[in-house]
Structure 1
Amino acid sequence: MPSFVLKTNLARSAIPKDFVTETSKLIADILGKPEGYVCVCVEAELLMSYGGTDAPCCIVNLLSIGKLGLEENKSHTAAICEHVKKHLNIPGDRLYVNFHDMARQDVGRDGTTFAR
């Protein structure tokens, strides 16, 4: 059920064609979850400012049932920042990653929740 949402002020044309699929693989890998449950969403061309400038920036929200925590989030942040810099050329000091550890009963899919 991992959900990765990236919001950026980059033009849509600046997002590589394979960014969503490569991000899906990354999220599955770092969280140790099946890729079949991973959802990736990219919102581009937003009016955004980071540090008082409109230079390229982004904000990421990563939701997961488990696999998040003090130590895990440090390595997740490193992997996500590296990925975003490599594919979108946004440096790590121009983005935030927000982690949301979801309770099973708070995530629905296929007519039920993960709490079953």
Structure 2
Amino acid sequence: MPSFVLKTNLARSAIPKDFLTETSKLVADILGKPEGYVCVCVEADVLMTYGGSDAPCCLIDLMSIGKLGLEENKTHTAAICEHVKKHLGIPGDRLYVNFHDAARQDVGRDGTTFAR
């Protein structure tokens, strides 16, 4: 049920081929969730600025049922920033990570919700 959506002004051609699979593994690892439930989406070539500059930047939304909170999000942010800098070259001060802790009944899959 975790979803990771990254929007960036980088060109699609600048996204490494393994970025999605590596990101899926990262999300599963940091949240302690089965990778079989992780969904990763990257939107490249987005018209965006950060701090008034159109230098490479990104906006990330991470949704999960649990495993998010004050201390956890600090750790998650550090891991995500390192991952994005390593694979995309975008430094941590050129991105935001928005965390969304969803209730089981608010996430649907396979004709039902996780609240069943």
TM-score (norm 2): 1.00
Task: Provide the residue aligned with 2:28 in structure 1.
Answer: 28
Measured after TM superposition, the shift of residue 67 of structure 1 is 0.1
- % identity of equivalent residues: 89
- The equivalent of 1:2 in structure 2 is 2
1:94 positional shift: 0.0
User: Is 1:88 aligned to 2:110, yes or no?
Assistant: no
Q: C-alpha distance in 2, partners of 1:39/1:6?
A: 11
1:66 maps onto 2:66 in alignment = yes
How many residues align structurally? 116
The CA RMSD over aligned residues, in Å, is 0.2
Alpha-carbon distance in structure 2 between the residues aligned to 1:38 and 1:72: 18
Superposed CA offset, 1:45-87 (max 9, x none): 0100000000000000000000000000000000000000000
Aligned to 1:104: 104
Equivalent AA in structure 1 for residue 60 of structure 2: V
The AA in structure 2 aligned to 1:87 is H
Match of 1:36, SS state, is: helix
Q: Are residue 79 (structure 1) and residue 74 (structure 2) matched? A: no
**Runs (4+) off by over 2 Å:** none
Q: Do residues 42 (structure 1) and 46 (structure 2) align?
A: no
